[in-house]
Amino acid sequence: MSTIPSAPTAGPADPAGRPVEPPAGITDARLARQIAFLLEIDQLKSVLRQSHLIDLSRRENDAEHSWHLAMLAVVLGEYAAADVDQARVIRMLLIHDLVEVYAGDTFLYDTQAAAGQEQRERAAADRLFPQLPGDQAGELRALWDEFEARRTPEARFARALDRVQPLLLNFYTGGSSWRPHGVTRADVLARREIIEDGSPALWEYVRVMIDEAVRRGYLRA
């Protein structure tokens, strides 16, 4: 089981393939820097994950994943293990995968690729966030670090949702990314702590779903 992370590298280009320069006459350096960052992270739309859309038409991209997680936070916020600042959770979820613009996506069950994931993603964070003005760079990097460390109730709930969402997509697409990679029930259960810490209620739902996935043949016993 091996997934080689990949990420787009090309910047904005016109129809002839020439680099697109910012419009002439822009004098607000802060705004120009913020716009440049927003254009840079547009590449997240091209980073494909292993999960498929519910209609099985194609694989999900990272931007869609982040949006869906933000909606999970809105709809399922009442199931957090502790009182959380919902807005903070949503902000974490919107930025948590931005580093994959450079680091690519790493499939959760790919142990080979996971070996260097932390180093790749920290190097990507070091490269990406400083493209913003200093105050925003520090703020977003701190949120990203908080998400990774999982030491606050918000981070634990955000991380739980990040694990629940692909499980939902897998179940409701008949194990579309479990089956090709030979993922087993034990593989999924080995990641239970992150979900259970952030939301015991969601873990109970997922546990039932996993057992049903095995019964239906979506997931190897």
pLDDT tens, position by position, 96-146: 999 999 999 988 888 877 788 999 999 999 999 999 999 999 999 999 999
- Report yes or no on 142 lying in a domain: yes
User: What confidence score (pLDDT) does residue 24 get?
Assistant: 81
User: What confidence score (pLDDT) does residue 55 get?
Assistant: 97
- Report yes or no on 10 lying in a domain: no
User: What confidence score (pLDDT) does residue 21 get?
Assistant: 78
Contacts of 64 (CB under 8 A, 6+ apart): 45, 53
- Report yes or no on 67 lying in a domain: yes
CA–CA distances in Å: residue 37 to residues 20, 22, 130, 138, 177:
14, 12, 9, 14, 32
Residue 221 in tokens: 């016993």
User: What confidence score (pLDDT) does residue 10 get?
Assistant: 58
CATH number, position 162: 1.10.3210.10
Residue pLDDT, tens place only, 50-81: 999 999 999 999 999 999 999 999 999 999 99
Average pLDDT of every residue of the chain: 92
Give the confidence band of 216 by pLDDT, cuts at 50, 70, 90.
Answer: very high
Residue 5: pLDDT over 50: no
Residue 18: pLDDT over 90: no
- Report yes or no on 21 lying in a domain: no
User: What confidence score (pLDDT) does residue 23 get?
Assistant: 83
- Report yes or no on 184 lying in a domain: yes
- Report yes or no on 64 lying in a domain: yes
Give the total number of structural domains in the chain.
1
Residue 6: pLDDT over 60: no
Residue 7: pLDDT over 80: no
Residue pLDDT, tens place only, 200-212: 999 999 999 999 9
The two counts, helices (H) then strands (E), for the chain are 11, 2
Residue 165 in tokens: 């969402």
